[in-house]
Structure 1
Amino acid sequence: MTVAIVLALYVVFAALTLPRLLRRAAWADRAPRLAIAMWQAAGVSVIASALLSAFAAAVPASVVGHGLAELFEACAALLSDEAALNSTSARVALVVGGLILTRVAYMGAAVLLRARRERRRHAEALTLLGRHDFDLDALVVDYDERLAYCLPGRKGHTVITTGALRSLAPEQVAAVLAHERAHLRGRHHLVLAISEAMARAFPRVPLFEQARREVARLIELLADDVAARRHQRVHLAAALVGLATGKVPAFALGAGGETALTRVRRMLHPQAPLGRRERITGVLAVTTLLSGPATLATAPGVVAFLAHHCHSFLTL
């Protein structure tokens, strides 16, 4: 029961405190990929801790330590034996764990299916309104508003309007299309879907709400960095200025948007990347967030396992 309480306290602490700590991380803009992993790992650790807290409250550590076969038998008995279910804490733990798991799975499926449905409709419209430009390797849509975005999916497309082509120089067009292809290759829409699903599954929880906003911002920084490897930063910065006022579909990923002007400053005044020691520290932090709850939850079972088998060995 102690482990269950500790994990439950961590859930509350992480959900309320981690957003403030991660937002203060000055290194995030210098390593957006690592920062995204940190936000995602924080969310996973909270959900995993909640599930493992329920599991630890329902199943004694000594049962876990005696082997998987007995563990499954104990769980089956707990579900079928009316006497076992008389334990209020066990019943509450099972219900809470089941609700959390069901909520996450449902919202994840809902977010993915809705986005897929909307992207499919938009793709059908693009086949009628757009034409493929082989030189640009993108769909060109006759539209005065300056837009450039990608439509993720199995057959992802980069899209640019004639308004953007008229206002941007060829070098700027190439840079912004490289930004969009970075989104497609990195499957960034799935990363955003995870954050969106967590935020919808647990509304008003600071960690998930902040993670949704920060991951969306960091995804754009990451795509900027990928595009800047092959194109001059000044060209990408100029393209971002030209596309700053464009509004892309909600289910697409666009180069412009609210963060464009902030990203322009970042492109024109790049900071030094993280050093090796800083990156190793960040990777260790992500690993701790992901493995910490499971390690804490299984520790009593491992101790019980060792105590049981060591005792059996000594009595031989």
Structure 2
Amino acid sequence: MIVAILLVLYGVFAALVLPGLLRRAPWADRAPRLAIAMWQAAGASVVISALLSAFAVAVPASVVGHGLAELFEACAALFHDVVTMSSATTWAGLVVGGLVLARVAYTGSAVVLRTRRERRRHAEALALLGRHDHDLDALVVDYDERLAYCLPGRNGHAVITTGALRSLAPEQVAAVLAHERAHLRGRHHLVLAGAEALARAFPRVPLFEQARVEVARLVELLADDVAARRHQRIHIAAALVGLATGQVPAFALGAGGETALTRVRRMLHPQAPLGRRERIAGRLAVTGLLAGPAALALAPGVAAFLVHHCHSLLS
């Protein structure tokens, strides 16, 4: 029961305190990929803590320890013990864990299916209105508004309007299309879908609400950085200025948008990347967020296993 309480306390701490700490992290814009991983790990750790706290309430440590000693026999014993136990705490743990899993699965499926349906309809419209430009390797749509975005999915592709082509120089067009292809190659729509699913599954939880906003911003920074490997930053910045007012579909990823002007400053005044020690520290933090709750939950079971195993050897 102590482990369950500690896991719940950690989950509450992570949900309420971590958003402020991560949002104010001065290194996030210098390493957007690591920052995205940090937000994902923080969100996953809260869900894992909730599930493991329910597991810790439902299953005694002695049963877990026995399961480590004799895996196959313990699986049957574990199932028998859990089914036959009639204590209120056991069933409460099972119910809570099942509800958390069901909520995450249902909301995640709903987000994926809804966005896939919207993208399919948009792709059908683009097939009628657009034409594929082999030189640009993008779909060109006759539209006066300056837009450039990508439509993710199995047959994902970059899209640019004739308005954008008229207003941007060829170097800027190449840079912005590189940005969109970075979204496609990195499967950033799946990253955004995960953040959206958690925010919808558990509304008004600060960590999930802030993660949805920050991850959306960070994937744009990451795509800018990938494009900057082959194109000059001044061209990316100029393209962002030209596309800043464009409104892309909600289910697509566009180069413009609300963060464009902030990203222009970042392109024109780049900061030094993180050093080796900082990157290692960040990766260790991600690992700790993911493995910490599991290690805490397993500690009583491991202790019970060691006691049982050592007792068997001595006897």
Q: Which residue of 1 aligns with 2:263?
A: 263
Shift of 1:78: 4.6
Q: Secondary structure of 1:66's partner?
A: helix
Shift of 1:70: 4.9
Q: Which residue of 2 aligns with 1:37?
A: 37
Q: Secondary structure of 1:153's partner?
A: coil
Deviation sequence 1:34-65 (CA, Å, 0-9, x none) = 00000000000000010000000111111100
Deviation sequence 1:52-102 (CA, Å, 0-9, x none) = 000001111111001234543344335542xx22x1111111111000000
Q: Which residue of 2 aligns with 1:162?
A: 162
The answer to whether the 8 A contact 1:150-1:253 is kept is yes
Counterpart residue type for residue 72 of structure 1: C
1:293 equivalent to 2:296? Answer no
Counterpart residue type for residue 271 of structure 1: Q
C-alpha distance in 2, partners of 1:163/1:75? 64
C-alpha distance in 1, partners of 2:73/2:124? 54
Q: Percent same amino acid at aligned positions?
A: 81
C-alpha distance in 2, partners of 1:289/1:80? 32
Q: CA RMSD in A?
A: 0.9
Counterpart residue type for residue 79 of structure 2: A
Deviation sequence 1:196-216 (CA, Å, 0-9, x none) = 000000000000000000000
1:77 equivalent to 2:68? Answer no
The answer to whether the 8 A contact 1:145-1:163 is kept is yes
Q: Which residue of 2 aligns with 1:13?
A: 13
Counterpart residue type for residue 92 of structure 2: V
C-alpha distance in 2, partners of 1:197/1:256? 24
Counterpart residue type for residue 178 of structure 2: A
1:52 equivalent to 2:46? Answer no
Shift of 1:179: 0.1
The answer to whether the 8 A contact 2:172-2:238 is kept is yes
Q: Which residue of 2 aligns with 1:308?
A: 308
Number of aligned residue pairs: 312
The answer to whether the 8 A contact 1:192-1:215 is kept is yes
Counterpart residue type for residue 160 of structure 2: I
C-alpha distance in 2, partners of 1:261/1:251? 21
Q: Please report the TM-score for the alignment, with normalisation by the length of structure 2.
A: 0.97
Q: Which residue of 2 aligns with 1:128?
A: 128
Counterpart residue type for residue 95 of structure 1: V
Shift of 1:6: 0.4
The answer to whether the 8 A contact 1:63-1:70 is kept is no
Q: Which residue of 2 aligns with 1:142?
A: 142
1:79-94 equivalences in 2 (<5 Å): 80-81=83-84, 84-85=85-86, 87-94=87-94
Q: Secondary structure of 2:17's partner?
A: helix
Q: Secondary structure of 2:176's partner?
A: helix
Q: Which residue of 1 aligns with 2:28?
A: 28
1:251 equivalent to 2:263? Answer no
Counterpart residue type for residue 281 of structure 2: T
Q: Please report the TM-score for the alignment, with normalisation by the length of structure 1.
A: 0.97
Deviation sequence 1:85-127 (CA, Å, 0-9, x none) = 2x11111111110000000011111111111111111111111
Deviation sequence 1:116-139 (CA, Å, 0-9, x none) = 111111111111000000110000
Shift of 1:142: 0.1
Deviation sequence 1:239-297 (CA, Å, 0-9, x none) = 00000000000000000000000000000000000000000000000000010111111
C-alpha distance in 1, partners of 2:203/2:95? 20
Query: Residues 70 and 64 from structure 1, CA distance in 2 versus in 1: closer, same or farther, beyond 3 angstroms?
Result: farther
Deviation sequence 1:212-250 (CA, Å, 0-9, x none) = 000000000000000000000000000000000000000
C-alpha distance in 1, partners of 2:92/2:83? 16
C-alpha distance in 2, partners of 1:178/1:39? 25
1:222 equivalent to 2:222? Answer yes
1:242 equivalent to 2:242? Answer yes
Q: Which residue of 2 aligns with 1:2?
A: 2
